[in-house]
Amino acid sequence: MKFVVDLAPIVLFFVAYHQRDMYFATGVVMIACAIQTFGWRLFAGEFDRNHVLAVLLVLPFGGLTLLLRDPMFIKWNGTIELWVLAIGLVGSQFIGDRPLIQRMLGAGGLELPEDLWRRLNAIWAAFFFACGALNLYVAYNFEEETWVNFRLFGLTGLSIGFVFVNFVWIMRNAPPIENEEDGQAPPE
């Protein structure tokens, strides 16, 4: 369900763009991000950091898009969001007791050696930096409609593929899980 909630604003942006234009879609995504952020707070009892980051960026960038009638502001929004996440991941390598990716994925019970957590954290940071740069490349070098399609299908597809590759990498590199009954690793 969280995946659907996370994806909703960009899907609504895509639909609104194809119904009217970039400015209508910008207003829709601003409202959708606000509803997503506060709706999640009501539903889950806490704010989701990614939703908060998204709304804190989409409101000013969307506002500038509407005020100045320049769609480049909303196109930069996704890149800034990805780069802020990447900077957070890089910073967590040096600040705090655990890398950010370990705090996120380790909370679900995933256990990896410290060097793998740090490598995974760096891989995610590089991915976010690259996606942000790719977003700008498409925004500046292709038609607006191509960028809108890329924003939904391209970046979402890249992200899903990246998560899958990470899952495979983790499964290959994670230490074996011990049997709770006898403290032994299960037979392969």
Report the 10 Å Cβ neighbour count for 53: 17
91 and 160 both lie in a single domain: yes
pLDDT in tens, 120-166: 999 999 999 999 999 999 999 999 999 999 999 999 999 999 999 99
Higher pLDDT, 108 or 56: 56
Q: Within 20-154, where are the H helices?
A: 22-44, 49-68, 72-92, 100-105, 114-141, 144-149
> Looking at the whole model, is its pTM more than 0.85?
yes
Q: Which residues of 148-175 are buried (b: 16+ CB within 10 A; e: fewer)?
A: bbbbbebbeeeeeebeeebeeeeeeeee
57 and 75 both lie in a single domain: no
107 and 161 both lie in a single domain: yes
32 and 88 both lie in a single domain: no
86 and 64 both lie in a single domain: no
51 and 103 both lie in a single domain: no
Query: Which helix (H) or strand (E) segment is 167 a member of?
Result: helix 155-173
Overall number of domains in the chain? 2
pLDDT in tens, 19-57: 999 999 999 999 999 999 999 999 999 999 999 999 999
What is the per-residue pLDDT for 172?
Answer: 87
The whole domain housing 57 covers 1-68
Asked whether residue 45 is assigned to any structural domain, the reply reads yes
63 and 12 both lie in a single domain: yes
